[in-house]
Amino acid sequence: MVDALQPGDPRRAGPYELLGRLGAGGMGQAFLDRSPGGRPVAVKVIRPEVLAAHPDFRVRFAREVAAARRVNALFTAPVVDADPEGVMPWLATAFVPGPSLADAVSEHGPMRAAVVRALAAGLAEGPPDGRPVIRSRGTLRPPGPESCWSRYPPE
């Protein structure tokens, strides 16, 4: 689940000293660290080549960070800290250990209907302002194509 840092990986993101690699996708990489209080956090760092290729990316990422801060649902990891304006933009959320949905289904087979309903109900909970949050391709997103953080490259 947590891999060693690779030679090209950043060693810090803001105040976080990155301890290990959780995963990578087209927009960025996710790393493990600990909060000042010792709680595990997932730190998502945007790739420099994404910033170079998409001049408006910082604005979109800042919008996504703001939307993520409004989500206060039982099945979502809360935002702990973020710096969308930094040289290397990043977002830190509480780290929730466990397999990915793909790994869970691969290992245990299809989920029972009751489990799928419970998962869907949890993912459907949105921010207090009532705007919906859509679960799409592995990430929680605000509505619309402007969302910029994904475990997968853009289509």
| Residue 153 included in any domain | no
| Residue 28 included in any domain | yes
Domain range for 127 is 12-141
| Residue 7 included in any domain | no
| Residue 50 included in any domain | yes
* Number of compact structural domains in the chain: 1
| Residue 82 included in any domain | yes
- Structure-token match 């290729």, residue found: 53
CATH code of 23's domain: 3.30.200.20
| Residue 90 included in any domain | yes
Sequence-distant (6+) residues with CB within 8 A of 8 are none
pLDDT digit string (tens) for the chain, length 155 residues: 789 999 999 999 999 999 999 988 888 999 999 988 899 999 999 998 888 888 888 898 999 899 888 887 776 788 999 999 998 999 999 998 888 778 888 999 998 999 888 878 876 765 555 444 443 334 433 333 333 333 333 33
Q: The whole model's pTM is what?
A: 0.73
Rounded to whole angstroms, the Cα distance separating 24 from 2 reads 12
| Residue 129 included in any domain | yes
